[in-house]
Amino acid sequence: MSHKSEAEYIAHTHNTARFFVENRQLSLVILIALCLWGWYGFQHMTKRKDPKIPVRVAVAYTQWPGATAQEVEQLVTRQVEQTMAQNSFLKPPSASDFSIRSFSFPNLSMVYVQLDDQVSDPKKQFTDMNLKLNALNSSLPQGAGPIQFNSDFGDTAALMLTVASPPANEVEVALRARSIRSAIVKTRAAEPRKSPQPRVTIVNAFPLSISASLMRDSFVSFIQSAVQTRMISDPRFFEGSGFIGVDVGTLLTDEELRKGGDQLVLEKLHRSEIHPDAWPAVFIRNPDDAETRLSAVAGDRYSYRELDDFTDLISRTLQGAHEVAKIERKGVLPEQIYLDYSQERLAQYGMTPSNLKDILGARNTTLPGGQLEVGPSSIQIDPSGKFTDPRQIGDVIVGSSSSAAQSPVYLRDLVNISRAYQSPARYLNYLTWADKQGQWHRSRAITIAVQVKDGEQIDAFGRSVSDKLAAVKQYLPEDLIFARTSDQPLQVEENISLFMDSLYEAVVLVVLVSWIGFWEWRSALLMAIAIPITLAMTFGALYLIGIDIQQVSVATLIIALGLLVDDPVIAGDSIKHALAEGHPSLIAAWLGPTKLATAIVYATVTNIVAYLPFLMITGSTGEFLFSLPIVMTVALVASRLVSMTFLPVLGYYLLRPEKSAEKSLEEQRKHGFFGAYARVAKYSIEHRWKFFFASLVFLAAGIFIFSRLSTSFFPEDVQYWSYIDVWLPNDANIGTTNATALKAEQIIREQAARFTKEHEHQLKQHDLLRYVTTFVGGGGPRFWFSASPQGQQLNYAQILIELRDKEMTPEFIRKLQPVLTSSIPGAHLDARQLLTNPMDYPIEIRVSSTADLSAQQEIEDSRKLQAFASKVEDILRSIPIAERTRNEWEQPNAQIALTIDPDRANLAGITNMDVANSSTAGISGTTVGVLQEGQKQIPIIARLRMNERAQLSDIQDLYIYGSQDNNKIQLAQISDINHDLVTGRIVRLEQFRTINVRSFPIAGHLSSEVLKVAMPKLRELEASLPPGYKIQIGGEYDKTKNGFRNLAMVMVISVALVFMALVFQFKNAIKPVLVLAAAPYGMIGAFAALWIMGEPFGFMAFLGVASLVGVIVSHSIVLFDFIEERRIAGDDFELALIDAGILRLRPVLITVFATVLALVPLAMHGGPLWKPLCYAQIGGLLVATVVTKLQVPVMYAIFVLDLKILKWDAGEKKSVAQTTSA
């Protein structure tokens, strides 16, 4: 590095620093414009909590009613997989990720596809895939399809608004109870008792908007069954507005009646037949107790149909907001028109269920009637053939009676026509909330998921949605419950505010350190002004680039503060030196920064090339951290520009020569803090080999500490929201799943109350729990980018928990999990915190097969897979710190197998297709038409009456209708009915069967600790597997391995680029080695800090270690520049090393302590994501500072004096004054 004399600088230098100082008015105008530009950019930058990470996943759903999981897999799933695999942009599979993953259930196929991270336009690829899948529909088996392709699977809701019904109010309950009391008294007085048993009235209440006729069939069937079992006797029915009841005689207590009723529903009726709007049954012995008893079980005030109408209006209103992209409703219970028929009744008229479809199709037409020209006008003719009311369906004539009168027979004479909800329901939504008195309620609900348009401001989105809601509420009932069960505008406002507060605190701390370091208010004020100017330039540039404000970009600015202050500190210090030399302010203001410009430029370049390779990190992690290197680069460039433009101008106005003469280097070597440093440095250089070997011991100790650190990929996020996955056996129906979810909700409330009492002094609000939102039969909307919603499965429920104090979430979840596990046997309940990086399970081990060559081998292959998976489960269950171990396939399901006798079926003119069609139509129902009501298309479903399909024994009495000649025969006459156990869930990965074994570490332990114990046994098992089978360890283990490998590669590239930059700077290949020598010691400091603070070595900690290289090297570069300056000044070698350290000591200490203190607010407020990075950088910087000031001179001395690799050619000795001013 060449150094010119000051006279040469003054005579020949014409740079930006000199231009801005000599044109101060222009400079101030540019400065004001820059600040305004930065303010504008900050205000208009898109703000979000987290960086936007596109989810390149889509899913294809294919229904095939009546098919087994094996049939679905072979005939549907495989075809869909093969079609998807034709795309050239699928994600390369790994142990923790997939390109194609499928689930085959009875009646349903779900196939997920994931595109490569490099695909910039997923919609284009998904559109191409959808076209191919549409073409595949014609190749599917009869009755299967169509394929429904959802390419919006990855869209995340910016707001989830759950609309719920309040409970019936006291006035409504009192009026209803008065009517019930009157009906009971009247019924009991109407007839004398037929039995001596005490009288009890059983009442089912329901919303006033529901007709009693909808409740009558199921209620009467239940009572008849109860009479047959002799639970009750002498039933006397009555009904009124909002209730239906029966007065009976019984010897049973209320509790015995309730338990017997539940058992009766379970054994002889369908739970799904109970109307979902109905309140729980109430038992009334004394009519005067009607109000008390009814109040105890009062249900929701509004029906599902009313909630559907309410939320439809809300959705259409919100869609009118400019910032709203898409709206989805979850929890809508579809309505259907049911035609419940009796086989015998239809047979009397020679009709079959398929005839109903033909009859209704001929009557329910939507064909146009043509157009008639009348004079100058055209008149449209409407045949008015479509059904618009359920009563019109009953008025359809289906034949005539056999009597002499030949009177017409209407459809209502053959079937019971009712308007009800989908039965059984496939998906339900509930909200658990507390009223003003603290009483908890579980209400039926519908959740509206609202998405924001790309590029729109989230705060503007929040305001628009609030305004639209305020406008629409005037048309809705006042007591309707509105709960924002996920609120991204609130999250963004709070998190950005938190991070910006951390940034402001960091700026204050940096200025405070500068003031202490310089011990002079003018220099501190210069720093205080320089930092906002740098940030303004940074925000302006980031706005033009298109970077948004989120936790990563703001945290990067906090991390960069120490580097941003480095330039102003050095520039300000050099201006003070120039003033001390006697230069006038006009010269000193630009001369000081100019003399160190080259060294600072290289230091800045070094930091930039140390961070830019982070852009090479791939996957969701790379997308999450994408803004980090860009923001860091922009901030460093801004800092360099400010230090060479505005800072000299400000230095001209602010800085003044010291009143007392600055101490000479000779005096500084002998006295005070600098003297102590000089003595330590001199001793280290003189005993350099001892010092060097001692540093190697330090390195060895650091390596030992590193070996003791546990690993964790990404920490769990700390948010108001957490959720519980509820899994039941594959054959569980939605009623069982809902009952389990209800138990879980009760436990959540109890544990929240207990937790509130135990932590009352810590909680910001008295009640910890705010809302519990439950989705039964499938996952809710994607409310968090890393929380992938489950597809609709009757054995699954998702419970979303919202707390009032997010800092309590981790501890609450840790305490909740063991209670859930112990209190609800027979189900898997996983309490989950939200994750920053997507990961389904922390411990996941895949057992895969590629050995299914034929159908027979496939059966054997399935057995082997399950046997190998069981061994993996045994390994994990044997580890004390692992819990909740299971495999994804679960246990086999019960299945009724109809073995058709071909001879008997042929003689009867019945085909296998006839059996399947008749079975499906009778048990599940078949669509025979559609009722149009406004914009709604309500299916008309024909099915057997409940008492003919309630039990397994009814199946053998089912009539099978021939498709050729409409003859009929009972199923038992042509088939044998057997009961089998079959697989209810088949999982395939990359087109081969795979069983995923999942587990969790117990609280207080990490998944890496579990796998450390399990790994030897897993490797031993893997070695024993036959050809065609393999074990892959996924979950956090594979994510960590791939992430660390990725970051290690980036780190190597970063070091290589830094080395190349240093070679260009020094024109020497040896000095860069000396500069980089301090980096390993900084890493040891980082490891020690993590160990002391008890933090695992995860990706963010690794990122902190990797980013230390640039910071450490930049400090060493300027030190080397000072050493070179002392050489030219004529110092001998040892004195030059010490003097350079003295001259560089104050700026380095100010910079390091500014960086360390700037990281403290981020470590305190940034959450578990940023703590490891902050601790790693704090520890690394503190250790590296010592190393830079001692180890680098020691290594330099070894290279020059002992190894003779470098030469020292001192310049001509200058005067003392010159030496002092250098």
Q: Which residue has the higher pLDDT, 14 or 110?
A: 110
Pairing type for strands 959-961 and 968-970 reads: antiparallel
Q: Are 533 and 637 in contact (CB under 8 A)?
A: no
Token match 């505010």: residue? Answer: 497
Examine residue 192 and say whether the peptide bond preceding it is cis (omega within 30 degrees of 0). Answer: no
d(CA 361, CA 927): 11
What pLDDT score does 506 carry?
A: 74
Cα separation of 460 and 46, whole Å?
A: 10
pLDDT, residue 661, reads 59
Work out the percent of the chain whose per-residue pLDDT is above 90: 27
277 touches 303 (CB < 8 A)? yes
Tokens of 547: 């970077």
* pLDDT at res. 405: 60
Query: What pLDDT shows up at residue 576?
Result: 80
Per-residue model confidence (pLDDT) at position 83: 94
**Which residues have C-beta within 8 Å of that of residue 659, sequence separation ≥ 6?**
none
- Across residues 701-722, what is the average pLDDT? 85
Higher local confidence (pLDDT), 135 or 16 = 135
What's the average model confidence in pLDDT over 718-735? 90
Contact 1194, 685 (CB under 8 A): yes
Band (pLDDT 50/70/90 cuts) for residue 664 is low
In 3D space, the residue among 730, 815, 737, 715 whose CA is nearest the CA of residue 1172 turns out to be 715
Cα separation values, 452 from 310, 456, 460, Å: 22, 7, 10
pLDDT at 1219: 38
- Nearest 10 degrees: Cα torsion 505, 508, 509, 514: 160
In the predicted structure, residue 1215 carries a pLDDT above the cut 50: no
pLDDT category of residue 1222 using cuts at 50, 70 and 90? very low
- The lowest-confidence range among 285-294, 336-345, 890-899, 1032-1041 is 890-899
Tokens representing 516 are: 């202490």
User: Does residue 888 have a pLDDT over 90?
Assistant: no
Quote the DSSP letter at residue 438.
S
Q: Is the pLDDT of residue 488 over 90?
A: no
- 497 vs 119, residue with greater confidence: 119
Q: Which residues partner with 1097 through β-bridges?
A: 711
Question: What pLDDT, on a 0 to 100 scale, did the predictor assign at position 501?
Answer: 78
Distance separating alpha carbons of residues 147 and 130, to the nearest angstrom: 9
| Burial class of 230 by CB neighbour count within 10 A (0 to 12, 13 to 18, 19+) | exposed
Greater confidence, 869 or 948?
869
174-183, pLDDT tens digit by residue? Answer: 988 999 999 9
In this prediction, residue 966 has a pLDDT band, given cuts at 50, 70 and 90, of low
Q: What is the residue-wise DSSP string for 161-220?
A: EEEEPPBPPHHHHHHHHHHHHHHHHHHHHHS--SSSSPEEEEEEE--TTS-THHHHHHHH
Q: What is the rounded CA–CA span in Å between residue 503 and residue 1160?
A: 10
DSSP 891: S
Choice between 1114 and 332, residue whose per-residue pLDDT is larger: 332
Would you say 223 and 248 are in contact if contact means Cβ atoms under 8 Å apart? yes
Please give the Cα distance from 255 to 261 (Å, whole number).
10
Task: Give the H or E element holding residue 1173.
Answer: helix 1171-1197
Token pair 């004529």 in the structure block, residue? 1130
Nearest-angstrom CA–CA distance, 320 and 329: 16
Q: Scanning the structure block, which residue is given the tokens 């929240």?
A: 752
Give the pLDDT confidence score for residue 1216 in this predicted structure: 37
Residue 784 to residue 807: CA distance in whole angstroms: 18
Average pLDDT over the chain reads 84
Query: 725 Cβ partners below 8 Å, 6+ apart?
Result: 790, 796, 798, 828, 829, 830, 832
What are 208-235's pLDDT values in tens digits? 777 777 777 778 888 888 888 888 888 9
pLDDT of 303 higher than 50: yes
Determine the Cα–Cα distance for residues 39 and 29; give it in Å rounded to an integer. 15
pLDDT at site 82: 94
The distance between the two most distant Cα atoms of the chain, rounded to a whole number of Å, is 138
Task: Check if the beta carbon of residue 560 is closer than 8 Å to that of residue 636.
Answer: yes
pLDDT tens digits, one per residue of 395-452: 888 877 666 566 788 888 888 888 888 888 889 999 999 988 889 999 999 999 999 9
Length of the chain equals 1222
Would the pLDDT of 1098 be above 80?
yes
**What are 998-1042's pLDDT values in tens digits?**
999 998 888 889 999 999 999 999 999 998 889 999 988 888 888
Q: What would the 3-class secondary structure string for 600-614 be? A: HHHHHHHHHHHHHHH
Q: Indicate the range of 109-113, 135-139, 160-164, 965-969 predicted with least confidence.
A: 965-969
pLDDT bucket at 315, cuts 50 / 70 / 90? very high
Q: What is the 3-state secondary structure of 394-408?
A: HCCEEEECCCCCCCE
Query: pLDDT category, 1218, cuts 50, 70, 90?
Result: very low
pLDDT for the residue numbered 384? 65
Cis peptide before 838 (omega within 30 of 0): no
Note the pLDDT of residue 1220. Answer: 36
What SS3 class is residue 15?
coil
What gap in Å lies between CA 642 and CA 659, rounded to an integer?
28
Show the domains of the chain with their CATH numbers: 8-44+520-659 (1.20.1640.10), 170-299 (3.30.70), 335-421+915-971 (3.30.2090.10), 667-708+1034-1222 (1.20.1640.10)
Per residue in 133-175, pLDDT (tens digit) is 999 998 998 888 899 999 888 788 889 999 999 998 888 889 8
Look at 265-269, 782-786, 814-818 and tell me which has the smallest mean pLDDT. 265-269
The Cα–Cα gap between 932 and 389 comes to 8
- Torsions phi, psi for 1176 (to 5 deg): -65, -45
Encode burial over 910-930: b for 16+ CB neighbours within 10 A, e otherwise: bbeebbbbbbebbebbbebbb
Number of Cβ within a 10 Å radius of residue 295: 16
